[in-house]
Amino acid sequence: MTIAQQPEALSFECETGNYHTFCPISCVAWLYQKIEDSFFLVIGTKTCGYFLQNAMGVMIFAEPRYAMAELEEGDISAQLNDYEELKRLCLQIKRDRNPSVIVWIGTCTTEIIKTDLEGLAPKLESEIGIPIVVARANGLDYAFTQGEDTVLAAMANRCPDKAPVAETEKIERNAIAKLLNFGKKKEDVAQDESEYVDHPPLVLFGSLPDPVVTQLTLELKKQGIKVSGWLPAKRFTELPVLEEGYYVAGVNPFLSRTATTLMRRRKCKLIGAPFPIGPDGTRAWIEKICSVFGITPKGLDEREAQIWAGLEDYVKLIRGKSVFFMGDNLLEVSQARFLIRCGMTVHEIGIPYMDKRYQAAELALLEKTCQEMNSPLPRIVEKPDNYNQLQRIYELKPDLVITGMAHANPLEARGINTKWSVEFTFAQIHGFTNARDMLELVTRPLRRNNNLKDLGWDKLVREEAKI
């Protein structure tokens, strides 16, 4: 199929099988902040240490709860006792920090030399008296954000399977309930509880900043839906109860392994919904959860229309323009669907890994959005070949390319507007109210160029790029 042809249905292609993404061990950056009583121990080489030091260098003024266990030549050649060395490090962590959980992050090196982290952890856990969760976040098997997926999948197995007997204990255990009920009288709390519809327990999974957790929880509360817990919780000791038959719903498209673990190991029922990114995605996410529980959603039309009205100053900057996703953080399909709703044309969605079952609802919404907006369906390329992508970019001449950090400067030097995909990972883009933040990122390079033109500097910039 040539580039000029427009497919009648979503087309999926796979090119090289290589991941051109940020390293997944960087998930430590946001997870150690989210799980406040945790400590992350990354087990790898000096290269991993250099990466973490640079990727998280902006956090040097905080006291991070992560460390690097650097493998030396003796470790790699299996001449040293891995167990004793890890025991020494974990005892030091316990003495200095005393966390509720230690998370071992395996890297490429531990995969290559076949370090049996899963075998070492239970024995060491019983010795030191602190839970040890093993997660593999190596770049050989996983793309950027899938590091979080492996950590949450491992933590899903640690969630308690029995709910507390006393109702007071149940409310006290739920960190979300404590957050929403902070400063309220008991009478007001009881009245709030009466607003909920009687439905099976619902647990949401995906690491989001606390303000976004509160926003999404309140959006569901408006529909009478009570969130029983989040995975991960702010504290490891407050992980949600997961009994057989509980309903679970994801908030990020890169959590397919966690979803599989929750269904197969914990016997939970997955709600296959689009993801709450953009006003359209957030509405579809809430509507799907409501439909599963037999609830008629109320006020969503007005809520979505209100948000779109507030976004118009940004939307008019990108309406009619085109965008190309090179692929990095697995948020590409959701972002593309939202930008198509904003009036953009998406030439191609590059994505490192695609789980069509987990993203089925999102893909269906993408197709529906293209039909409603009279926009051509984008081609979806899994594990794209960057050389081929660059040729397509030169031919298509998109107004914006959303790409990994490695390709941004070379593309800018050739006069192509770019935006780092990693910025969307760290920004707050979920829910109704955060759609504006996402458009702020998307439009920034376009606004910058408009400002340069107004100042007459665009010609100078192009000349310098040629030099």
Residues 381-428: tens digit of each pLDDT: 999 998 999 999 999 999 999 998 889 999 998 889 999 999 999 899
Distances in Å between the Cα of 381 and the Cα atoms of 142, 245, 357, 397, 403 are 17, 36, 16, 18, 14
Q: Is CATH 3.40.50.1980 correct for 24-142?
A: yes
Superfamily of domain 167-292: Nitrogenase molybdenum iron protein domain (3.40.50.1980)
Four-residue CA torsion sign, 282, 404, 350, 49? negative
Cα-to-chain-centroid distance, residue 58: 20
Reply yes or no on whether the pLDDT at 76 is more than 80. Answer: no
Per residue in 317-344, pLDDT (tens digit) is 999 999 999 989 999 999 999 999 999 9
pLDDT band of 190, cuts 50, 70, 90: low
Reply yes or no on whether the pLDDT at 48 is more than 70. Answer: yes
pLDDT band of 462, cuts 50, 70, 90: low
Percent of the chain topping pLDDT 90: 66
Could you tell me which of 241, 242, 243, 202 has the C-alpha nearest to residue 221? 202
Bridge partner residues of 231 (DSSP) = 205
Bridge partner residues of 348 (DSSP) = 324, 379
What's the whole-number average pLDDT of the chain?
A: 87
Per residue in 427-459, pLDDT (tens digit) is 999 999 999 999 999 999 988 887 776 666 555
How is residue 184 written in tokens?
Answer: 């309220």
Question: What pLDDT does 91 receive?
Answer: 95
Q: Are residues 176 and 196 in contact, defined by beta-carbon separation less than 8 angstroms?
A: no
Domain at 11-16+299-466: CATH code: 3.40.50.1980
Reply yes or no on whether the pLDDT at 3 is more than 50. Answer: no
Q: Are residues 383 and 142 in contact, defined by beta-carbon separation less than 8 angstroms?
A: no
What distance in Å separates the CA atoms of residue 465 and residue 156, rounded to the nearest whole number?
A: 50
Per residue in 367-377, pLDDT (tens digit) is 999 999 999 99
How is residue 410 written in tokens?
Answer: 């070379």
Reply yes or no on whether the pLDDT at 78 is more than 90. Answer: no
Number of other CB atoms surrounding residue 38 within 10 Å: 25
What distance in Å separates the CA atoms of residue 256 and residue 98, rounded to the nearest whole number?
A: 32
How is residue 465 written in tokens?
Answer: 């790029």
The domains spanning 24-142 and 167-292 adopt the same CATH topology: yes
Reply yes or no on whether the pLDDT at 208 is more than 80. Answer: yes
Cis before 232 (ω within 30) = yes
H and E: helices and strands count for the chain: 21, 14
What distance in Å separates the CA atoms of residue 161 and residue 139, rounded to the nearest whole number?
A: 32
pLDDT band of 1, cuts 50, 70, 90: very low
Reply yes or no on whether the pLDDT at 181 is more than 70. Answer: no
What is the Cα gyration radius of the chain? 23
How is residue 57 written in tokens?
Answer: 């260098």
Please tell me whether residue 344 adopts helix, strand or coil conformation: coil
* 166-177 average pLDDT score: 51
Reply yes or no on whether the pLDDT at 60 is more than 70. Answer: no
Reply yes or no on whether the pLDDT at 90 is more than 60. Answer: yes
Reply yes or no on whether the pLDDT at 153 is more than 90. Answer: yes
How is residue 60 written in tokens?
Answer: 């040097």
Question: What pLDDT does 257 receive?
Answer: 96
Question: What pLDDT does 172 receive?
Answer: 47
Any idea where the domains of the chain sit in the sequence?
11-16+299-466, 24-142, 167-292
Reply yes or no on whether the pLDDT at 5 is more than 60. Answer: no
Could you tell me which of 211, 213, 221, 336 has the C-alpha nearest to residue 281? 336
Percent of the chain topping pLDDT 70: 84
Helical spans, DSSP H, in 376-434: 386-396, 405-413, 422-426
Q: Are residues 329 and 22 in contact, defined by beta-carbon separation less than 8 angstroms?
A: yes
Lowest-pLDDT range of 44-58, 206-220, 393-407? 44-58
In a 10 Å sphere around its CB, with 0-12 CB exposed, 13-18 middle and 19+ buried, how is residue 54 labelled?
exposed
Question: What pLDDT does 139 receive?
Answer: 86
Distances in Å between the Cα of 153 and the Cα atoms of 2, 123, 160, 264 are 40, 21, 14, 11
Q: Are residues 442 and 419 in contact, defined by beta-carbon separation less than 8 angstroms?
A: yes
Could you tell me which of 186, 188, 187, 179 has the C-alpha nearest to residue 210? 179
Reply yes or no on whether the pLDDT at 2 is more than 90. Answer: no
